[in-house]
A and B are shown apart, each in its own frame.
With several copies, the nearest count.
Chain A
Amino acid sequence: MARAQTVSVDELKSIAKRIRRHIVQMTANANSGHPGGSLSSVEIATSLYFRVLRYDPQNPLWPDRDRFIVSKGHATPMVYSTMAEAGYFPVEDLMTFRKLGGKLQGHTIMQKPPGVEMSAGALGMGLSFSLGHALAGRLDGRDYHVFCLLSDGDCQEGQTWEAAMASAHHRAENLIAIVDRNHIQNDGFSDYQRFPDGNGSRPQRPGGWVLKDGHTANIMNLEPLEDKWKAFGWSTQHIDGHDFEAIIRALEAAKTHTGGPSVVVCETIKGKGVSFMENNPDFHGKAPSPEQLEQALKELAD
Chain B
Amino acid sequence: MVRTARSEATRTALGPTLVRLCREGLDIVCIDADLGYSTSAVKFGQEFPERFFPVGVAEQNMIGVSAGLAACGKIAFCSSFAVFAPGHCFDQLRMAVGQPQTNVKLVASHGGVVTGEDGASAEAIEDLALMLSIPTFRVIFPADVVEAEQAIETAARTEGPFYMRTLRPKTPVIYDDSGYRFQLGRWDRLRDGSDVTLIACGELVKAALDAAEILAGEGIATRVLNASSLRPIDREALLGAARETGAIVTAEDHFVHGGLSGLVAETLAEENPVPLAFIGMRDRYGTSGTWEELLEYFGLTPQAIAEAARGVMSRKSQ
Q: Which residues does A use to contact B, with CB under 8 Å?
A: 30, 32-33, 63, 73-74, 98-102, 105-107, 109-111, 117-125, 127-137, 139-140, 153-154, 156-159, 162-163, 165-166, 169-170, 185-188, 190, 205, 207-210, 212, 214-216, 218-220
Contact = CB atoms under 8 A, between A and B. Distances in A.
B267 interface: no
Contacts of A106: 117-119, 122, 288
A210 B39 CA distance: 14
Nearest to A151: B57
Contacts of A110: 71, 99-100, 102
Interface residues of B, number: 61
Contacts of A100: 287-290, 293-294, 297
Chain B binding site: helix, strand, loop or mixed by DSSP?
helix
A128 B122 contact: no
A105 B45 contact: no
A129 to B, nearest CB: 4
Contacts of B102: 110
15 contacts: A30-B117, A98-B288, A100-B290, A128-B68, A129-B65, A135-B29, A136-B71, A136-B73, A169-B56, A186-B37, A187-B35, A209-B52, A212-B46, A215-B42, A216-B36
Contacts, number: 225
Given A121-B118, A139-B29, A220 B37 contact: no
B303 interface: no
A125 B64 contact: yes
Q: Which 5 A-B pairs have the closest CB atoms?
A: A132-B68, A128-B64, A220-B56, A121-B121, A100-B289
A140 B72 contact: yes
A210 B117 contact: no
A107 B56 contact: no
A214 B60 contact: no
A135 B35 contact: no
A80 to B, nearest CB: 12
Chain A binding site: helix, strand, loop or mixed by DSSP?
loop
Contacts of A212: 46
A121 B95 contact: yes
Contact of B95 (A74, A101, A122, A130): A122
B70 interface: yes
Interface in B55-71: 55-58, 60-61, 63-71
Nearest to A96: B288
B84 interface: yes
